[in-house]
Copies of this chain bind each other. A is one copy, B any other.
């Protein structure tokens, strides 16, 4: 079911894709003051496990503290900056702390909760208190195995941003799934062009002949756009049972799904950076990491059920290769969009009825800009 666009809704002016100042503002608004999906809880299964994530130029340590009780409460985020002379402490993209985080310059040492527990030769000076120099914290929270972080000092709860999604996607039991494959793409396009590309299948017949055999591009069942996410579901055609090179399903259905949920793929973009593609038998996620007004790093991951992964004949390449091919087609066309929009000849062009989610996303972008300007008195 597609919603009617009002006559001649158009794409945004070029500056939203080319102006470094708007980009910097959007980084603040969308990537520093919102919850962004940083990765998966199973990447840091045990206390001291960590990974680094770069958000808006900031290196963030995501790690797991020692806590009793609810495991999701143990996930922590810290700026990767020593409080002594500002040194970046951690350089490996992932690893395990042996109970403490130590700076390699002068040996300042922090607990997994960020407290400063050692500062060689600082004792002698007067006026120095260890308690004044904990690591700078970043808010962290977990939804069904997906870790979100928020750099904003006034971060509201993640639940508000997720709205009804936890209930909607509970049957997929994302917290049970495990990472099998990660591919990182470097895309020379503004992050919003990637979102626009993800949220319509009008381009599928022209751009994705392989995908188009498995799914009816006119059959997207889009939800009414929400203020923090957009998305919808698409069914299969021609006997396909999942998105794979041949449409065949080589893994059991995910355990919690009913008949209706087994017949579709849910494609949701949870603003600003989480592209969630829930398949009957696996989950693909993509997180967007804007590097410049015209460059975005995309981390795509394929997650499967551990029961399947432990089978001797477990296969995943049908799903990975299919989407890797499709992703590359998409990123290439995003780069061409970026290149064209940079032209002086570009003018906002008309959206069709098949691009209503994109118009909704654009309107959200403009609304957030208006709010920010109002707040800042601009």
A interface list, Cβ under 8 A from B: 5, 7-8, 11, 14, 57-59, 79-89, 91, 104-107, 120-122, 124-128, 133, 136, 196, 202-203, 205-207, 333, 336-337, 339-347, 349-350, 352-354
Instruction: State which of B104, B107, B125, B206 has its C-beta within 8 Å of the C-beta of A7.
Output: B125
| B residues in contact with A84, CB < 8 Å | 349-350
Residues of the B chain whose Cβ atoms lie less than 8 Å from the Cβ of A207: 104-105
Whether B125 pairs with A86 at a CB distance below 8 angstroms is: no
The CA-CA distance from A205 to B125 in the complex, in Å, is 20
Q: Is the CB of A125 within 8 A of B350?
A: yes
Task: Pick the 4 closest A-B CB pairs, nearest first.
Answer: A79-B345, A7-B127, A88-B340, A136-B345
Q: Are A125 and B352 also in contact (CB < 8 A) when A105-B206, A337-B87, A345-B136 are?
A: yes
Contacts A81-B343, A86-B349 known; A354 to B107 CB distance under 8 Å? no
Q: Which residues from B are CB-within-8-Å of A345? A: 58, 79, 81, 136
Q: How far is the CA of A86 from the CA of B344 in the complex (A)?
A: 11
Number of copies: 3
Q: In the assembled complex, which residues on chain B have CB atoms less than 8 Å from the CB atom of A133?
A: 349-350
Beyond A125-B7, A125-B352, A127-B7, whether A340 also contacts B82 by CB under 8 A is yes
Q: Is the CB of B353 within 8 A of A79?
A: no
A336 and chain B: residue at smallest CB distance: B88
Residues of B contacting A81 in the complex (Cβ-Cβ under 8 angstroms): 340, 343, 345-346
A339 & B59 in contact (Cβ 8 Å cutoff): yes
**Which residues on the B side are within 8 Å of A126 (C-beta)?**
7
Interchain CB contact under 8 A, B336 and A87 = yes
- Please measure, in the bound complex, the distance between the C-alpha atom of A6 and the C-alpha atom of B351, giving whole angstroms: 62
A339 CB, min distance to chain B CBs, angstroms: 4
Q: Please state if B86 and A346 are interface contacts (CB–CB under 8 Å).
A: yes
Q: How far is the CA of A88 from the CA of B104 in the complex (A)?
A: 44
For A346, the closest partner residue in chain B by CB is B86
> Please, how many angstroms separate the alpha-carbon atoms of A125 and B133 in the complex?
60
> Smallest distance from the beta carbon of A205 to chain B beta carbons, Å?
7
Known: A333-B105, A343-B59. A202 touches B120 (CB 8 A): yes
A7 to B127 Cα, complex, angstroms: 6
Residues of B within 8 A of A124 (CB): 352-353
Which chain B residues lie closer than 8 Å to A88 at the CB level?
336-337, 339-340, 343
Bound-complex Cα distance A206 to B341 (A): 48
What are 10 inter-chain pairs, A to B, with CB distance below 8 A? A57-B342, A57-B343, A58-B344, A58-B345, A80-B343, A82-B349, A86-B346, A88-B343, A106-B206, A125-B350
When distances are taken between beta carbons in the complex, the residues of chain B under 8 Å from A122 are 350, 352
What residues of chain B lie closer than 8 Å to A107, measured between beta carbons?
205-206
Let me know if B59 and A333 touch, CB within 8 A: no
- Option from B86, B89, B337, B353 in Cβ contact (under 8 Å) with A105: B337
Cross-chain contact of A11 among B80, B85, B89, B352 (Cβ < 8 A): B85
Alpha-carbon distance between A344 and B59 when the two chains are bound, in angstroms: 10
Measured CB to CB, the nearest residue on chain B to A196 is: B85
Closest residue of chain B to A124, judged by CB? Answer: B353
Task: Name the B residues within 8 Å of A7 (CB-CB).
Answer: 125-128
